[in-house]
Amino acid sequence: MSFSKEVKQLLSTEKLGYIATSGSQSSHLNIAIKAIIDYNDDNGEKIYFLDMFDGVTRKNLKENGKATVAVTDLESFCSYQFQGTATLIDSGEVFDKYTANWNMLKQNRFRERIAGNLTQSLISSLKDALHEKPLNDEYDLPVPKYVIEFDVEKIITLAPFKPKE
């Protein structure tokens, strides 16, 4: 099985997914936002996420690997739910590949921010530039703790209408 053209488009453009998990003894679901870093359908349908925290999602996935992921494009209303099983990866080739990609993205965004700030400082007075802290400072973004490899078992469209072919 492979992802449809619409699903591939969504996973290529949207960078956040909502993952719902539940521990073995939990009576409630945990929902968390995770960074979508890749997808692959060469050997089964897989979506890869980075997780920056050792929180409830990790605890739940260790106890019960079953999860549901929702990804939505708010402009087109294209939305899918993915049901499947997650594997936590905190070392090895897959982990190294995706954390290296994350670090490169973070560095690039930081460089863009510096270039933008330098341009802004040419326009603004030096005093104003020194007193402002940029929003969303990429330098302070956390380091990934692990990669979630999500094996998709079922895909459900959540769109209010059938996507155009």
Number of domains in the chain: 2
Domain around 156: 1-90+145-165
* Residue 76: predicted pLDDT: 83
* Residue 120: predicted pLDDT: 56
Is the domain of 60 the same as that of 6? yes
Q: Rounded to whole angstroms, how far apart are CA atoms 37 and 6?
A: 17
State the 10-residue block means of pLDDT for the chain, 165 residues long. Answer: 89 92 85 90 89 89 94 89 96 90 69 62 51 52 83 88 57
Note the pTM of the prediction, 2 decimals.
0.74
